[in-house]
Amino acid sequence: MVSHDIRIIALDLDGTLLDSEKRISPRNRAALEDAASRGILVVPTTGRFYAAIPAVVRDLQFVRYAVTSNGASVFDRVENRSVSEIPIPLHAALDILDALGSFDCICDCYMDDWGWNSESNVEKADEYAPDAHYAAMIRDLRTHVPSLRDHLLATGHDVQKILAYVKDPSLYDRIVEAVAAVAPGTVATASNSRMFEFNAAGAHKGAALQRLAESLGFGMQNVMAFGDGLNDLTMVRDSGLGVAMANAAPQVLSAARFVAPSNDDDGVAVALERFLPRR
């Protein structure tokens, strides 16, 4: 077996580290604790902003850094701030919101490491969210303002990510085309068929991990990255050891160097035990 000099373990959360009940299995936890005891950095790498990461992950004492908002931000929990950001410029964010207004969807955004949406979205959460988990996030992990667009104008801040929730997944191509027409410096991903995400073109998980690794004196060859969704593709593809879960999207499976069991079958631990044998 080829030896890998792993210094960073990057972990997507939903569908990867967390099981279907949003838990970390005892076996996965033990494998991560073992890696951390060797001085390997464990880095949650997620589409969420930091405060929206489940407590079961934030409570891991050996975690310092997290890649958040699909790579728009690298958060340092010791300093309690983003230490690296690639946001959507305010003018582009406003154009995206205007474009999304032409479709049957609701939208919100991440800004200043928090979620924001319009008050009218709260009552529509169950109707548009992919499932109860996302509906709860829309209601509970956002500050609700009378108008999201007006709030962005008032703050004058750039935006880390914009999300659109739809009832009809077939709208994806039309929405992506409409957003690209008004904000060509952005990219779209879909973590599931009814929730579309827009980031600045340079903001993706692979690029964020590269920035973090280089700031610590490492390279992508020193990263072991786990993922399942399309927003994980760049980090799985570009890392020294990319791992796809058995439940991953076909593109992620094709890009991976190793396919682990699913997120409900201790897949993270299985891969770590294979490539980082217990001492």
CATH number, domain containing residue 213: 3.40.50.1000
pLDDT greater than 90 at residue 45: yes
The answer to whether residues 119 and 148 belong to one domain is yes
48-58 per-position pLDDT tens digit: 999 999 999 99
Verify that 192 and 109 share a domain, yes or no: yes
Q: Which of 174, 200, 226 is the last residue of a domain?
A: 200
Among 142, 168, 200, the domain boundary falls at: 200
Whether 191 is in a domain gets the answer: yes
**Are 98 and 228 part of one and the same domain?**
no
Do 145 and 208 fall within a single domain? no
> Are 19 and 48 found together in one domain?
yes
* Per-residue confidence (pLDDT) for residue 166, from 0 to 100: 96
Q: Judge if 109 and 193 occupy the same domain.
A: yes
Q: How confident is the model at residue 3 (pLDDT cuts 50, 70, 90)?
A: low
Q: Are 168 and 123 in the same domain? A: yes
pLDDT digits (tens, 9 = 90+) for 125-164: 999 998 898 899 999 999 999 999 999 999 999 999 999 9
Q: What is the pTM of this model?
A: 0.90
CATH code of the domain containing 123: 3.30.1240.10
Clarify whether residues 247 and 184 are in a common domain: no
- The total number of structural domains that make up the chain: 2
The yes-or-no verdict on residue 27 having pLDDT over 90 is: yes
Give the mean pLDDT of the chain: 95
Domain range holding 253? 8-86+203-275
**Do residues 59 and 131 both lie within one domain?**
no
Alpha carbon distance 261, 229 (integer Å): 15
Residue 100 has pLDDT above 90, yes or no: yes
Where does a domain end: 176, 200, 224? 200
Residue 1 in any domain: the answer is no
pLDDT mean over 175-199: 92
Residue 2 lies in a domain: no
